[in-house]
Structure 1
């Protein structure tokens, strides 16, 4: 208020005490009105554009085999028991659309013998129930593969953990036989490592044996997989024959020994 005295004249310095009190009260009242309302706070909370796609209590808007998928304690759980061993990988699939460019954030926890992954831009097979074919952010309990980009039922490994890789077009590589011929040691051969994002084993130390955060950033032909805020792999897919620009989103339980994987706080930004 002192800074404003000159514009009102020196006589304002001699206002009665009651007037001064009223002025101060009015100023405080104005500042109080500047505080964000509840609606304003809520708007700030959703300003990042992410929307929850899992309500934490039901399988609404998700489709999968209930033998292997359930909701418990706020988590989406995939589990194989000794009595329910799999013949083929099975997925629970989001029914809310087929995202193209998007970001996905979630938390996951997996048992030591677990094998899972987050599929995106994927196709639904009509020959196997609840089976997807497409890009996958790999997740496993021993963290040998967690963070890499593996294309389920197609080109196999596109980028190992710690790699930024570019995929080129392989002529006639869309046919099943050609696909198989272009895979060696479970990795696609028409790929070039552009740079290192860190040593595979060093990056492994950033992955916890409890809850971890996964963040997928998928835009155009570039796919980035982050775990706990660290870029684990990046693929630039220039393979115009085999790449997908959009597709289904789902989580996997893999053929193998009994295992359990949990997902929670699943949110999507398109």
Structure 2
């Protein structure tokens, strides 16, 4: 009995363990399958989402490329239009530059013509003034000669010709005014003209001596000048220099511009700058005569003094 019990195999217990192990394996297989199925589903879902995103990105990229292409085409079109405008502007600028050159050339030609016209006008005016001045000088000189001749005739008939304006001194058929006050030569000349006279002209030693008695040793302007041509001195009455009383070494045109003559306090003459100021000057005019009524009707008029320098 005991020997039988010791050698006895128990099959039922073994079946139970195998069944349990199979169940576990089947559960593991099902779990694995479920996991792989879930993983596969996740992979498919990810793939689908990726494809969807890629498609969206592709569509967006296509749209962006389309927009960029359109913008690029628009830019290229604008650039071509800009080049065309630049070319047109360049042409217009070149034309304007050519027009400007032509205008400048025309202006230069017009300016030259205008300058020539101005020069011609100045020459005409100068010629007219010179002719007028020459005619006026000739008329004045003729009138003065007539007046002097008339005075000689009256004196020869016993008429006294020694009447001078107030404050003027008589000497040899002329009246003299000894002016005082600081003046330039041209100012002294105008002052004498305003007094119906002119700066004195000295033609003899007697006249020089008379002037020396009244200038009170003052430097005085006289009517001698070489303004028109250097070295050719002429008196205010238009007569050339006959008598002279130059200081030794004079005239010397010292400083290149001594064109007017003054009489020193010593009586000697000296050329000086016309703009220098002297405190005295001497004017002259012809004396008038005491005429009877019949003679007065034919008395020549005194020449009108020149007002221009």
* TM-score, structure 2 as length reference: 0.26
- Larger relative helix fraction: 2
State the structure with more CA Rg.
2
* TM-score, structure 1 as length reference: 0.28
